[in-house]
Amino acid sequence: MSERRELYRSPNGDSWFLGREPADGHAFVIHQPNSPSGGKFSHVELGEFLRKGMGPEQQALLRLIGTLVEVPPFAAANDDQT
């Protein structure tokens, strides 16, 4: 069973999750449409998901990726002075 973390939930009830297969570490996006749309999960490769546009769900994934980058304290201090 894959692991997942919610990326974004739209006002209409659609949800997007970042998923990872524990056996091999393969990452992908899971889309779950709202119930009126059928609610059936689909898996999307990361590259394909990002190529689809720059909607709030793609922005949420990019923000999550950005949290993985450590900013050295010196660089953060210099950014505050500009």
Q: Which of 77 and 25 is assigned the larger pLDDT? A: 25
Tell me what percent of the residues of the chain surpass a pLDDT of 70.
88
Distance of CA 37 to the CA centre of its chain: 21
CB atoms within 10 A of CB 77: 10
**Rg for the chain (alpha carbons), in Å?**
16
pLDDT on residue 72: 78
Burial 27-62 (b: 16+ CB within 10 A, else e): ebbbbbbeeeeeeeeeebeeeebeeeeeeebbebbe
Residue 6 in this model has a pLDDT that exceeds 90:
yes
Residue 70 in this model has a pLDDT that exceeds 90:
no
Residue 82 in this model has a pLDDT that exceeds 60:
no
The average pLDDT across 7-13 equals 96
pLDDT on residue 3: 87
